[in-house]
Structure 1
Amino acid sequence: MRVLILGGNTGFIGSHLSTKLKDPFQCDFVSMRNLSWATDNILADCMINLVGKAHDFTGKATESDFFFANFELAKKAFDLFISSQAKLFIHISSLAAIEEVESAKSLSENASYNSVSPYGRSKQAAEEWLLSQKLPTDKKLIILRPPMVHGAGDKGNLKQLFSIVSKGIPYPLVRFKNKRSFLSIDNFCFYIEQILLQNKKLSSGIYHLSDDETLSSNEIVKIMKQETGLKVPCFPLPKRIISFLSKLGDHTRAFPLNTWRLKKLTSNLVVSNKKIKVALAIERLPKTAKEGLRDTIRALKQQH
């Protein structure tokens, strides 16, 4: 199968896919910034849209920045797919398109949209636009919604938490009890490989990806301490004090915690991966949630 991946192979997910998919498939990575490759005869069986903007820890990105990368370029990518010979278009969306903060129940693919940030709203807009397009009968659209994907090279919230733990800063969030779904990069690549190999089993539509197990923030910190060997003390501050301090972080980057990051670290957000696993007859993912987390922490430790 000839796979055309829109987005560079030097980014976090692209670099891992380029390694994992190079043997079973003929993969080419192309940029959406320079469309000189986009001739009238794009030779590919499948196109995967990895293009997008996610993390912004500088606070400088505007809403238009997110909508250009996550919405406008998604439309352009889909238009290229429609005019190509490719039969399968895989769009990498995000759980943030429907929920970013908290959900009391396991989220299925038919959950209502509840995005709140420019990132989430731009992902939602792309999904809604893609689903509104008329597909030729011989073409298929698969939209994938992963939660936080982590692994070597990740620059997301796990890296931020690791930087706090590795500095020996007392961990103050012990009183918060939560469950969150994550997705290790190895499991993400496994899902993509299986979709490519078994795409005839899938109908066009949305599919959630995640590890099989959830993790709590306390479990994550415990594993970080085990992998680093650091005796980081716990300092269980009352929740109301933590909430007050996080508001201070909204006004200065010198404080490592703000209200948004506090919600990300302490709220419940669980994803159901049942639909994709049943469709592809996946019984077990390559890594458990804890195994994938340990891989990520070891990679972060090497970088530190």
Structure 2
Amino acid sequence: MIAITGYSGFVGTELLKKINIEECVLLGRKPITGSYKHQFFDLSNPVQDLDLSEVKVFIHCAARVHIMDDNSANPIDEFRAVNTKGTLNLASQAAKAGVKRFIFISTIKVNGESTTGRKPFNEQECAPEDPYGISKAEAEQQLLALGQQTGMEIVIIRPPLVYGEGVKANFASLMRLVNKGFPLPFRSINNNKRSLVSVYNLVDLIKVCVEHPNAANQVFLVSDDHDLSTAEMVQLMAKVQGKSNLTLPIPTTLFSLAGKVLGKKQIVDRLIGSLQVDITHTKKTLNWVPPYSVENGFKLSAKIK
């Protein structure tokens, strides 16, 4: 039996398509249509007992997610309450119930925010900068300690930006702009590189980690293994949608200036900067390669409504 949290989220929804529903128990606030076993659970409430007696593998996808403009009075405490304390509570219950393996979907933000001017991130690095990344990093550390104490196998997966059909936020907005044929000022942003991962490749890796013996007590970075500049990303979005690539050569220095003047430096840094991950360890340890090319992933994402 496999227990899954975050089953109604972007990653969890795709995961349910690839796993036998007869082998699943869903943990969350609302049951979903289908023949799934379900137990009520609220990640922000640590005082809840779960029946995990039949569970062998636990896949923890739920989280308090990163928000660009978080107006919480004390965001670090709110992230820790869910992502750190809530996760440890789940894992502790899983260990007591005899669950063999706990798979934690973390984030590349545990590594940091940028690889501009440096080598790609690797799985051994940990330098989070924002409350979300810090809460996930602390969860990772506590999970690994719990695994050492109890013998439950811990698997940690750190994805960068995850995209696919139904994705929202900036990726979806950019895809729509390209589809509408608007001239976009991104042709000169061609020296940066960003790692992405389609939800299809991420779910495939999660499935491998459910059973692969070499996954135990490891941290894995994941990507499509094909990094793109912003200009290349826009070009590929145009190609998969059958549109002309209408981009203008606006210098990156103007983007940087606009970011400072408008107070949008973080957004601009993501647009013109680099964030790359090295998945050599993942591929070698698990004998895994991403089954979907980045072009396949973009084609499926083009169904965004």
* TM-score where L is the length of structure 2: 0.84
Indicate how the Cα distance of structure 1 residues 261 and 132 shifts in structure 2: closer, same or farther if over 3 A, else same: same
Partner of 2:303: helix, strand, or coil?
helix
Aligned to 2:293: 288
Aligned to 1:259: 265
- Take 2:48 and 2:85, find their aligned partners in 1: how far apart are those partners? 19
1:134 Cα deviation after fit:
5.2
AA paired with 1:49? H
Matches within 5 A, 1:142-291: 142-176=155-189, 177-198=191-212, 200-231=213-244, 233-250=246-263, 258-282=264-288, 284-291=289-296
- Take 1:70 and 1:21, find their aligned partners in 2: how far apart are those partners? 25
* Deviation sequence 1:229-249 (CA, Å, 0-9, x none): 444632222222211222344
1:214 Cα deviation after fit:
1.2
- Take 1:275 and 1:239, find their aligned partners in 2: how far apart are those partners? 33
Asked if the contact 1:49/1:89 (under 8 Å) is kept, the reply is yes
Aligned to 1:107: 121
* Deviation sequence 1:68-107 (CA, Å, 0-9, x none): 2322211212112121121101111111111222252122
AA paired with 1:47? F
Q: Say if 2:67 is the partner of 1:67.
A: no
Indicate how the Cα distance of structure 1 residues 39 and 294 shifts in structure 2: closer, same or farther if over 3 A, else same: closer
Indicate how the Cα distance of structure 1 residues 72 and 214 shifts in structure 2: closer, same or farther if over 3 A, else same: same
AA paired with 2:260? K
1:166 Cα deviation after fit:
3.9
Aligned to 2:9: 11
- Take 2:52 and 2:187, find their aligned partners in 1: how far apart are those partners? 57
Instruction: Provide the identity percentage.
Output: 25
- Take 1:264 and 1:142, find their aligned partners in 2: how far apart are those partners? 28
1:150 Cα deviation after fit:
0.9
Aligned to 2:63: 52
Asked if the contact 1:51/1:73 (under 8 Å) is kept, the reply is no
Aligned to 2:18: 20
* TM-score where L is the length of structure 1: 0.85
Q: Say how many residue pairs are matched.
A: 287
Indicate how the Cα distance of structure 1 residues 197 and 206 shifts in structure 2: closer, same or farther if over 3 A, else same: same
AA paired with 1:33? D
Asked if the contact 1:140/1:203 (under 8 Å) is kept, the reply is yes
Asked if the contact 1:55/1:156 (under 8 Å) is kept, the reply is no
Unaligned stretches of 5+ residues in structure 1: 251-257
Asked if the contact 1:93/1:144 (under 8 Å) is kept, the reply is yes
1:264 Cα deviation after fit:
1.7
Aligned to 2:37: none
* Deviation sequence 1:173-211 (CA, Å, 0-9, x none): 32222111111111111111111132x233313111121
* Deviation sequence 1:103-132 (CA, Å, 0-9, x none): 521222112x22222221221221222233
- Take 2:66 and 2:175, find their aligned partners in 1: how far apart are those partners? 16
* RMSD value, Cα: 2.4
Asked if the contact 2:234/2:245 (under 8 Å) is kept, the reply is no
Asked if the contact 2:241/2:299 (under 8 Å) is kept, the reply is no
* Deviation sequence 1:51-73 (CA, Å, 0-9, x none): 11224256445333322232221
